Amino acid sequence: MKLTTVTNISVDGVMQGLGLADEDRRGGFERGGWALLLVDEETMEYLGGV
């Protein structure tokens, strides 16, 4: 079995949801949804394939 994961983690070790603007605001984090604003069509196609 092959398992593939795409994990986003900050330099200080924080793993938070990054999709929607109001996603995963636990622990006082105010910046949900930061990554999708930076993703282009080619990247979305790749991530969809993963």
Residue-wise pLDDT for 3-48, tens only, equals 988 787 888 887 776 677 777 777 777 776 667 777 888 988 887 8
**Rounded Cα gap, residues 15 and 33, in angstroms:** 12
Cα angle 50, 30, 48 (rounded to 5 degrees) comes to 10
How confident is the model at residue 34, as a pLDDT?
A: 67
Please identify which residue in the block is written with the tokens 């999709």.
19
Please identify which residue in the block is written with the tokens 């604003």.
37
Q: Is the pTM of this model over 0.95?
A: no
**Rounded Cα gap, residues 44 and 5, in angstroms:** 15
pLDDT for residue 1 is more than 90: yes
**Rounded Cα gap, residues 46 and 23, in angstroms:** 22
How confident is the model at residue 18, as a pLDDT?
A: 66
